[in-house]
Structure 1
Amino acid sequence: METEKQRIRELCTAFRLGGISNGIKALITEAEQQEMGYVKFLSQILETEATHRSVKDLNKREKAAWLPQMSDLNHYKTGSEDEISPGRLKQLRELNWVDQLFNIVLMGPSGTGKTFLAAGLCQDAVKAGYNAYFRRMDDLVNMLKTKDFVKTQQVEYKRLLKANLLVIDDIMLFPLEKNLAISFFNFINQIYESTSIIITTNKKPSDWSKQLDDEVIATALLDRLLYHCEVINFSGESYRLKNRKTIFEGS
């Protein structure tokens, strides 16, 4: 019996059936104890492999997403200072807008929860099976600068072109040189018809031309991002400043 079990594990390794290989001993023991029929035993084996692959795929997509540590929207607090009521949050988390290729613009001062919401929606999308990625604007700029001569950045570029959802955090926080502004526009132009995009920004659309130093590029970029788009405005005091810590007692 042990020889047969070992042979099963070897075959599972050869056929890359990691879930069955890891669980075969327990599966056989359970089948013997319950006097399980052949059909049920086969079903249990295949379910074990399916679960293993599903978890492995989720871990792979979570790793590629580059999510911040705080990305769980179950801890997101809705309030009167912004437009995210519990009902709207529920609708956003249903992710129907991703299938409809809608974009979301989260606009407002730093520290008001834009990144948390964007990252949380990205995490929900990853768990739902979408290819979803969270990237800061400087991540994208660095990728666009180096993709033509750094292999890993070329891989990153091709990965993002196939995204179902892309979060761009802190867009237009810093000015872009003309050549990078053009590269960024070309990138958005390639994905906007096949990818939902979430952007967070503390700049009004009217300020984008200053950051890009080109009104034509700014207008063309906004035209693509805002065509099918929900704009959500945030206001209020920065959460980080309001809850800042101090090293002094009694302060």
Structure 2
Amino acid sequence: MKQELILNYCKQFKLSGIACHIETVLQEAQSSQMSYSDCIIKLFEKEAQTRETKAFERRISAAKLPGNHKLDQYDHSFENGINKTRLNQLRELNWLDQIFNIVLMGSSGVGKTYVAAGLCFDAIKAGYKAYFRTMEDITNMLKLKDITKSAMTEYRRLSKANLIVMDDIMLFPLDKPVAIALFNFINQQYEKTAFIITTNKSPKEWAHMLNDEVLATALLDRILYRCEVINLSGKSYRIKNRKTIFN
């Protein structure tokens, strides 16, 4: 009866961590003759752990990471121009605290997206607000933010980010209004948000994709102001490890 009353109070005050562990903790308290204060501390520890886990799961969901995003599983035998020491240095996230940008350049399949997503995942684990978005995601948001509620919610979410990954930037040409909106967004964020940008286009090609050399120069000026440019090279990992339906 008393335990049921406790569970009702847990539900009322949204203490799901305590509710899930109350029985186990009480049994442990009885068997080990735990003091009242230690028992209460134990229950609140369970609540804190539950909330931390749920918050992490929410951040992971909001980040929209691709399937491969854990750098602990990174294949260091794949030669693409970034060695284990350099990657581990990036994983320390000192650049994120300093609001530095990372630009990963290279052809398709050399690991740009994997590294970017992995650093985003590391940032989330460290407690940062970090999000992974493709160029298409970003441009669609900018087109629709003044039209749909969901796009405006996304815009506000990204505006508060510590880190934004923009995958495959300049993969396709942009219409002038979208290009201007992209510049305005980055101009608004670059002093308070770190960016990881992946691209297979050289800075010279950005002007062509934007059809505006002045705008491309201004955009690159913001991104490269505090930035580490990493050129990845080599053959495509996907082609090298191509799957087949035959044995």
- TM-score strictly above 0.5: yes
What SS does the corresponding residue of 1:149 show, helix, strand or coil?
Answer: coil
8 Å CA contact 2:167–2:197 kept in 1: the answer is yes
Query: What residue in structure 2 maps to residue 43 of structure 1?
Result: 41
1:22-33 to 2 correspondences below 5 Å: 22-33=20-31
Residues 80 and 111 in structure 2, CA contact (< 8 A), matched pair in contact too: no
Q: Which runs of 5+ in 1 are unaligned?
A: none
- 1:19 aligns with 17
1:127-206 map, 5 Å: 127-206=125-204
Cα 1:115–1:80 shift into 2, 3 Å: closer
CA contact (8 A) 2:187 2:222 kept: yes
Out of 199, 210, 228, the position equivalent to 2:208 is 210
Aligned-partner Cα distance in 2 for 1:200–1:82: 14
Are 2:64 and 2:132, in contact at CA under 8 Å, matched by a contact in 1?
A: yes
Matched residue, 1:97: 95
Superimposed CA distance per residue, residues 158-188 of structure 1 (whole angstroms, 9 cap, x where no aligned partner): 0000000000000000000001000000010
The total of aligned residue pairs comes to 247
SS at match of 1:241: helix
Shift of 1:84: 1.7
Structure 1 position 79, deviation (Å): 5.0
Residues 248 and 53 of structure 1, relative CA distance in 2, 3 Å threshold? closer
Contact 2:81 2:233 in 1 (8 A): no
Higher mean C-alpha deviation, range 72-81 or range 227-236: 72-81
What SS does structure 2 have at the residue aligned with 1:236?
coil
Structure 2: gaps of 5 or more residues = none
> Which of 67, 70, 73 is 2:68 aligned to?
70
User: Deviation digits for residues 48-98 of structure 1, max 9, x if unmatched?
Assistant: 000000000000000000001110101112358433221111111111111
Deviations 1:13-38 (A, max 9, x none): 11111100111111111111111012
Who is 2:236 aligned against?
Answer: 238
Q: What is the SS of the residue equivalent to 1:180?
A: helix
Change (3 A) 1:51 1:248: closer
Taking the aligned partners of 1:80 and 1:64, their CA distance within structure 2 comes to: 30
1:123 to 105, 121, 124: 121
Q: Aligned residues: percent identity? A: 56
Q: 2:207, 2:213 within 8 Å by CA — same for their partners in 1?
A: yes
Q: TM-score, normalised by structure 2?
A: 0.97
Higher deviation after alignment, 233-242 or 155-164: 233-242
2:235 maps to a residue whose letter is: E
Q: Partners in 2 of 1:80 and 1:177 — Cα distance?
A: 37
Letter of the 2:188 counterpart = Q
Matched-pair contact (CA < 8 Å) for 1:79–1:85: no
Q: Within 2, Cα distance between the matches of 1:248 and 1:32?
A: 60
Q: Which AA in structure 2 matches 1:168? A: M
